[in-house]
Amino acid sequence: MSRSALWSLLFTVLLAVGLIWVPEAEAWSVPVFTQPWTEIGINESESVEKDQPAENELQEPEEPAQETSGEASAEIDDFLLDFESLYGTWHIWTPNSFVNLYDQEDGHYVTHDLVAGAEQGMVVVNPDGTYSMTYGAWGEEVVKGKWRLSYPREINGEVLQAIVLLDGMTGTDWAIAPSASGKIRLLWAMGWADGSATWIFDAELHRK
């Protein structure tokens, strides 16, 4: 056997032995396909945008709450606005009052005394815009003049319609005004420098 043939046989034997002892190799890796990070960011942002309203989407304004206050919906009593019911003759009645009594020597307060109410005079309101008035507590004269209707909320901010007697007793404006209690009041105006007035209760009026 020649030397070349011998080397060829030896190589074949070594190759066969190597194939027998080398274990079967598994695939070194399995390709895993993942989404690029840019695609993940886009998908996440799309899901966020679906949850949030678009900036340019117009938001409908909320309707204001309706007032349910009883005062806002309450109607004004016709009695407070019916000025024609104030026409005619009214008798002035001063209510009961207390008068303080003092010691004549030192002037110290001693007690008080009840002064019973009494009729003091009358007011006649004519539909033609004139009036006459007598009031013993303010004088014995008979005052005559003209009257006008009160301005809105003129009588101390009250919602009512009064008759204002111009230049009444002592040259002061007086008013005949209804009250929420159902009574008719006689008021006089305490004027201020700015032309406004505070109306002071003086007596109750009644008919005979």
Average pLDDT, consecutive stretches of 10 residues, N- to C-terminus, the chain (208 residues): 66 63 50 52 51 54 52 71 96 80 79 78 97 93 97 96 96 96 96 94 92
The residue segments making up the domain with residue 93 are 78-206
Query: How much is the pLDDT for 50?
Result: 53
* 107 and 169, same domain (yes or no): yes
Q: How would you class 50 by CB atoms within 10 Å of its CB: exposed for 0-12, middle for 13-18, buried for 19 or more? A: exposed
Residue with structure tokens 């309203």?
53
Provide the residue type at 100 as one letter: N
Query: How much is the pLDDT for 118?
Result: 76
DSSP secondary structure code for residue 153 in this structure:
T
Query: How much is the pLDDT for 103?
Result: 76
* 197 and 138, same domain (yes or no): yes
Query: How much is the pLDDT for 25?
Result: 47
* 16 and 103, same domain (yes or no): no
* 127 and 200, same domain (yes or no): yes
Query: How much is the pLDDT for 197?
Result: 95
Query: How much is the pLDDT for 129?
Result: 97
pLDDT for 159-178, tens place per residue?
999 999 999 999 999 999 99
In 10 A of CB 121, how many CB atoms?
21
* 146 and 194, same domain (yes or no): yes
How many structural domains comprise the chain? 2
Q: How would you class 177 by CB atoms within 10 Å of its CB: exposed for 0-12, middle for 13-18, buried for 19 or more? A: buried
Does residue 166 lie within any of the structural domains?
A: yes
pLDDT for 121-162, tens place per residue?
999 999 999 999 999 989 889 999 999 999 999 999 999 999
* 99 and 175, same domain (yes or no): yes
Query: How much is the pLDDT for 164?
Result: 98
Residue with structure tokens 């942002």?
45
Tell me if residue 157 falls in helix, strand or coil.
Answer: coil
